[in-house]
Amino acid sequence: MISQKMADAINEQIKNEFYSGWLYLAMSFKAEEMSLKYFAEWFRLQESEEKMHANKMCNYLLDQGAEVKLSALDKPKFDGSSIDAMVTETVKHEKFITDCISNLVNVAKEENDNATFNFLQWYVEEQVEEVASVTELDDLVKLAGPGQLLLLEERLKEVISLRNSETTA
């Protein structure tokens, strides 16, 4: 059994993870509007990863005999005027999520909760990967500029098929 403070903090992060998915889903629709099919698909993949992150936390709370408390999600807030702005927003958002995970780890330390501390290490590692991959994409979008987005679409097509083959392997 984990402390109420720990459970509340995890429930708050569950909301953040579902919100991340909500945000990326909205970005995916925007990318579709711009006819950037593979950017749209990439945002969809991000969305499903976020749902997985949230569900993993829900399962953990249940395993620990704590209550999962879902709350209302805010309307996704982002600048959807260009793909460049959306990818940059993604980097900013992932850095925010990294800070949230760090705060959760601090709560686990304060509560002397070794099980939750261990559980959270997966998210610590995941955030390193998430920030690195979205930063790389952001750099590429900026380097390419609006004239080369179709080349980036091709690159994303490869990234997506690689990710799909990893999940089906």
- Contact positions toward ligand OFO, by CB under 6 A? 17, 20, 50, 53, 94, 97, 130
By beta-carbon proximity to ligand OFO, the closer residue of 94 and 113 is: 94
In whole angstroms, what is the distance from residue 12 CA to residue 71 CA? 8
Contact residues for 80 (Cβ-Cβ < 8 A; gap 6+): 26, 27, 30, 86
By beta-carbon proximity to ligand OFO, the closer residue of 50 and 153 is: 50
In whole angstroms, what is the distance from residue 26 CA to residue 23 CA? 5
Crossing angle between the packed helical segments 4-33 and 83-110, to the nearest 10 degrees: 170
Q: Minimum distance between the CB of residue 147 and ligand OFO, rounded to whole angstroms?
A: 29
By beta-carbon proximity to ligand OFO, the closer residue of 13 and 149 is: 13
Looking at beta carbons, which residue is closest to ligand OFO? 20
Q: Minimum distance between the CB of residue 53 and ligand OFO, rounded to whole angstroms?
A: 4
